[in-house]
Structure formats: structure tokens, C-alpha cells
Amino acid sequence: MAPYTVHKSLDQGLYFLDGQRKTIEKPKYSREFDVFEPRIGKVVAKCPIAPKELVDRVCTDAKKAQPAWGKIVPMERAKVLLKVADIIRVKTFLL
């Protein structure tokens, strides 16, 4: 069994807002949840819990971005999503 590794920024609670990648501010948002490795049944990391206000803001921002994404022709959106899939495949070992 390959060893399980936790992505180094997992404990930062990554999200996107205003077109930028951001992290949850600690200790401002100090509540956390456990991340389990199911193969061994152990906690391997802790992640900050985003407060409702932040989740609402991120969702509102995503909703505003959707019309622009929807105007991109399907072939171009497909290229973006295929590139994302390629990156995920290459970095599967981090998941």
C-alpha cells in the first residue's frame, strides 16, 4: 500500500473569491474538522471550517462568474475542463 500524503496546503482551507485563490484566516476561523485516511482509519489532517458568511460570499461570487463562463463556447470550456482533468490525473497521488 502506498503511503498516504496530505497536500501541504490542505489545512489552509483553500477557496476562490474575487478571481483569486485564498485561504481561511486562522485563528479568526478556528473551528476545524478531521480528515480521515480511510485505508488506515486515522486522522491525517485537520481543515478549518468556513463560516456561513464566507460560504455565502463564495457562492455569490461563483454565481456572478457563471454568466461569463456560460458565454464561452463549449469547445473552449471543454479545453479548460480537459486541462483540469489532466492536472488531477498527474497529481492524483496528492488526493
Q: Where do the domains of the chain lie?
A: 10-94
What is the Cα–Cα distance from 29 to 79, expressed in whole angstroms?
A: 36
Say which residue, 23 or 9, is predicted with more confidence: 23
Most confident of 1-5, 22-26, 47-51, 79-83: 79-83
What is the Cα–Cα distance from 92 to 84, expressed in whole angstroms?
A: 12
pLDDT tens, residue by residue, 36-45: 888 888 888 8
The DSSP annotation for 7-19 comes to -TTGGG--EEETT
7 has a pLDDT exceeding 70: no
- Strands, DSSP E only, in the chain? 15-17, 20-22, 32-37, 42-48
Task: Return the pLDDT at 64.
Answer: 93
